[in-house]
């Protein structure tokens, strides 16, 4: 079975001048032979710093030429890459840096200044290497040749990536992704989207997230195609990049789709500005549920199919995917199983028939090796026969499409009845003024839990909570309609753009105390007695 090294070496031997990566800011087109050469140099420098096979290497960087070189070069050299979440707080970063046993940290100047306390706390056990996302690291051994021959052997089952979950309910867990897992995830991306060597993706998601790592980095590596990677997502530059570099696909999260649609409704969209989209085959949405109303609105506006998918950190991203055109997708579903097995089980672990809700479970070559230094969590998540507990509540229809209705820990239990937060979200998304929505449960003396919701309005929109309450009640009935709907400026999100519902409970407490000005409610309306 292949490793990251063999993938790069085989491609470089076949077509050394093929372009793999384009970085707009630095105007560099990285060929696969250059990638191979620089990956070997990364291995030489890591050896000079004293790292051995399997040692952990962390980075805290935005997207860029050097970020991709380090990400792939570290694995090529037989070490393990630890991407750090740049939007995490100092406490979480300090925990991950220590828990991962990272021996080296590549960090940009702006993050070094922002997280100075974290860096100081790690002094003595972590070699900190200042790094430019475009120009690369300031290696502590300037005279090192950068090449060690031979590099340590790399096997498909060796650890490749150690990536930490967002930690919304406690300390984040370190997910161990092997070379085989990462390649299987890339192959799932390629197969489900029929990618060929002439395809070119646009990656605007951060490289510290599994979506970018597997879909946008491994996908093109497996298909021997190319990817365009700017430093970060900018709504104003998105369509210009697709036009300039003739991208044939892109991978984003629902929040970005909503922003692009809102911008198009305001200024007429890319075609009104004379941009060319004929080469664009599809867009890909993952990492969070995509509202059917936004999904269909985007496709009507741009004439570009959006393929809704689903992936997890623990599964090296893709597990479910809707069919590509001319196949018929199902809006509101992340699709059918692709590249792995999927089933729905009840509380007793038995597989449920189509139409019944239970926990979604996954088995396949993309499923993680386990959680780093956490055998208890690994045993809870992975069955002995390889099935992974996802924690997602879902059902499968007669056509094999899966529908996610919530997370086990997010389900609202009101008066003994289970309420899926996503059902309430979908109702709110149908209101023309709502840009984002999230329902969640709060303690209630009468019902055990009550339904609450927070929404973000589209720029320039105006809507009172009472109007949203009436709107929901017509669609959901009185029992499921939130007792309170709050209009706020922003919702808490993880690095993928996924709304973190459980954090809204804490934010709500801040609202009541008037302690959170940034997320302070613009207007609230409470309706009780349901």
Beta bridge partners of 278: none
Tell me if 26 is assigned to some domain.
no
CATH number at residue 157: 3.40.50.980
- Beta-bridge partners for 41: none
Q: What is the pLDDT of residue 273?
A: 66
User: How are beta strands 282-285 and 249-252 bridged, if at all?
Assistant: parallel
For residues 198 and 337, membership in a common domain is answered with yes
Question: Greatest CA span in the chain, whole angstroms?
Answer: 74
Are 291 and 339 within one domain?
A: yes
Kindly state whether residues 383 and 501 are assigned to the same domain.
no
Do 279 and 196 share a structural domain? yes
Q: What angle do CA 362, 366, 347 make, to 5 degrees?
A: 15
Q: For the whole prediction, is pTM greater than 0.75?
A: yes
Token pair of 157 as six digits:
């089952």
User: Per-residue b/e over 119-135, b at no fewer than 16 CB within 10 Å?
Assistant: bebbeeebbbbebbbbe
Q: Which long-range contacts (CB under 8 A, 24 or more apart) does 468-476 make?
A: 468/428, 468/431, 468/434, 468/525, 469/525, 469/527, 471/427, 471/428, 471/430, 471/431, 472/424, 472/427, 472/428, 475/427, 475/430, 476/423, 476/424, 476/427
Q: Which domain holds residue 156?
A: 4-10+41-177
Total domains present in the chain:
3
**Whole-Å CA distances, 179 to 1, 72, 191, 301, 388:** 9, 11, 18, 40, 19
Please give the pLDDT value at position 525.
35
Q: Could you report the per-residue pLDDT of 460-481, keeping only the tens digit for each?
A: 999 988 899 999 988 888 888 9
| Helix ranges (DSSP H) in 55-211 | 65-76, 90-99, 109-114, 116-122, 179-192, 210
The answer to whether residues 384 and 429 belong to one domain is no
Residue 15 lies in a domain: no
- Cα separation, 30 vs 432, whole angstroms: 44
Question: Considering the domain boundaries, does residue 35 fall inside one?
Answer: no
Of 382, 407, 432, the position where a domain reaches its end is 407
Is 399 found in the same domain as 316?
Answer: yes
Within a domain: 97: yes
Give the separation between CA 92 and CA 88, rounded to whole angstroms.
6
Q: What residues in the chain have per-residue pLDDT under 70?
A: 1, 141-149, 166-170, 269-273, 416, 446, 495-497, 509-530
- Domain for residue 384, yes or no? yes
Residue 521 confidence (pLDDT):
37
Distance (Å, rounded) from C-alpha 378 to C-alpha 41? 35
Do 345 and 237 share a structural domain? Answer: yes
Same domain, 373 and 229: yes
Co-location of 401 and 254 in the same domain: yes
Q: Where among 407, 433, 455 does a domain terminate?
A: 407
Last residue of a domain, one of 407, 426, 457: 407
Element (H or E) spanning 331, and its range? none
CATH assignment of the domain containing 385: 3.40.50.12780
**Token digits of residue 412:** 């609202």
Q: Are residues 300 and 205 in the same domain?
A: yes
162-199 pLDDT tens trace = 999 865 446 789 999 999 999 999 999 999 999 999 99
pLDDT computed for residue 506 by the predictor: 76
173 and 57 belong to one structural domain: yes
Task: Look up the CATH number of the domain holding residue 448.
Answer: 3.30.300.30
């Amino acid at each position: 079975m292949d490793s990251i090294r063999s993938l790069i070496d085989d491609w470089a031997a076949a077509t050394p001048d093929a372009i793999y990566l384009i970085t707009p800011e630095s105007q560099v087109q990285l060929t696969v032979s250059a990638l191979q050469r620089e990956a070997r140099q990364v291995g030489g420098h890591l050896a000079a710093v004293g790292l051995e096979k399997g040692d952990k290497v962390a980075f805290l960087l935005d997207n860029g030429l050097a970020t991709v070189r380090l990400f792939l070069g570290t694995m090529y050299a037989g070490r393990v890459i630890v991407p750090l979440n740049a939007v995490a707080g100092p406490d979480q970063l300090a925990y991950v840096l220590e828990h991962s046993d990272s021996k080296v940290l590549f960090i940009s100047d702006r993050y070094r200044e922002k997280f100075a306390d974290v860096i100081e706390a790690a002094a003595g056990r972590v070699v900190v290497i200042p790094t430019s996302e475009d120009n690369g690291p300031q290696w502590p051994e300037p005279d090192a040749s950068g090449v060690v021959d031979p590099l340590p052997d790399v096997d498909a089952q060796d650890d490749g990536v150690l990536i930490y979950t967002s930690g919304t309910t406690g300390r984040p867990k370190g997910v161990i992704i092997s070379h085989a897992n990462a390649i299987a995830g890339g192959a799932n991306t390629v197969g489900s989207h029929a990618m060929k060597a002439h395809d070119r993706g646009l990656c605007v998601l951060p490289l510290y997230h599994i979506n970018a790592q597997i879909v946008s980095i491994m996908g093109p590596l497996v298909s021997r195609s190319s990817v365009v990677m700017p430093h970060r997502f900018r709504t104003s530059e998105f369509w210009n990049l697709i036009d300039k570099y003739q991208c044939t696909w892109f991978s984003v999260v629902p929040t970005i789709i909503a922003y692009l649609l809102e911008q198009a409704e305001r200024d007429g969209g890319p075609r009104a500005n004379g941009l060319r989209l004929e080469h664009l085959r599809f867009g890909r949405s993952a990492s969070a549920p995509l509202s059917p109303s936004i999904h269909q609105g985007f496709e009507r506006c741009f004439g570009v199919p959006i393929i809704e998918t689903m992936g997890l950190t623990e599964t090296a991203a893709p597990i479910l995917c809707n069919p590509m055109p001319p196949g018929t997708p199902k809006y509101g579903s992340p699709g059918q199983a692709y590249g792995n097995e999927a089933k729905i089980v009840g509380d007793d672990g038995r597989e449920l028939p189509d139409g019944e809700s239970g926990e979604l479970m996954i088995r396949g070559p993309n499923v993680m090796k386990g959680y780093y230094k956490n055998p208890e969590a690994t045993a809870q998540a992975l069955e002995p026969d390889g099935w992974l507990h996802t924690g997602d509540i879902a059902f499968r229809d007669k056509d094999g499409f899966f529908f996610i209705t919530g997370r086990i820990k997010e389900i609202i239990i009101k008066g003994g009845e289970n309420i899926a937060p996503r059902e309430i979200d979908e109702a709110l998304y149908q209101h023309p003024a709502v840009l984002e929505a999230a329902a969640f449960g709060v303690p209630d003396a009468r019902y055990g839990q009550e339904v609450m919701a927070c929404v973000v309005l589209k720029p320039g929109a105006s809507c009172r909570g009472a109007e949203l309450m009436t709107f929901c009640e017509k669609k959901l009935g009185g029992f499921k309609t939130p007792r309170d709907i709050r209009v706020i400026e922003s919702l808490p999100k993880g690095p993928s753009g996924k709304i973190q519902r459980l954090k809204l409970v804490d934010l709500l407490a801040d609202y009541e105390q008037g302690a959170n000005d940034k997320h302070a409610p613009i207007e609230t309306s409470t309706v009780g007695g349901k």
